[in-house]
Amino acid sequence: MVTQGYARTYQTQSVLTASPGRLVLMLYDGALKFLALAQEGFRQPESDPRRFELINNNLQKAQNILSELQSTLNHGAGGDLATTLDRLYDYYSRRLFEANLKKQPEPIAEVERFLRELREAWAEMLCKEEGARFQQSRVVA
């Protein structure tokens, strides 16, 4: 019980001290986690009464994260990239809605694959940005 409290405190501190770029990465990670949990629901026995609840709840959590990512897009500064991401997030949300409605795992796998690619690209961009910032701080010092 105490360990859970420490973990929650650590998680809260991580979010509060993260850069905007790291927060986006955390959102991607959260969405991927919930998609994996929804997929786990499909592997539950059909006789399990909690199967549909597990699928539904986790798909809704992933959709909420996609909505958050979509709402934080800066179309003024992001230009075409922001517009493209807006359309992608909308498409992913519609596919997850369809997966939830029809109780089909295929749309989840599709969204998971595309979201993982976005996450990896974002992580790579952050690493390059942090590396450049580190090099710049070494020059100044």
Tens of pLDDT along the chain (141 residues) come to: 666 765 555 455 555 567 889 999 999 999 999 999 999 999 999 999 899 999 999 999 999 999 999 999 999 999 999 999 999 999 999 999 999 999 999 999 999 999 999 999 999 999 888 766 655 555 555
Kindly report the pTM of this predicted structure.
Answer: 0.82
Only one residue has tokens 């909505």, namely 67
All residues at 6 or more sequence positions from 22 whose CB lies less than 8 Å from its CB, including other chains:
126
Whether the CB-CB separation of 119 and 32 falls below 8 Å is answered with: yes
Whether the CB-CB separation of 106 and 35 falls below 8 Å is answered with: no
**Count of CB atoms situated within 10 Å of the CB of 122:** 16
Fold annotation for 20-140: Four Helix Bundle (Hemerythrin (Met), subunit A) (1.20.120)
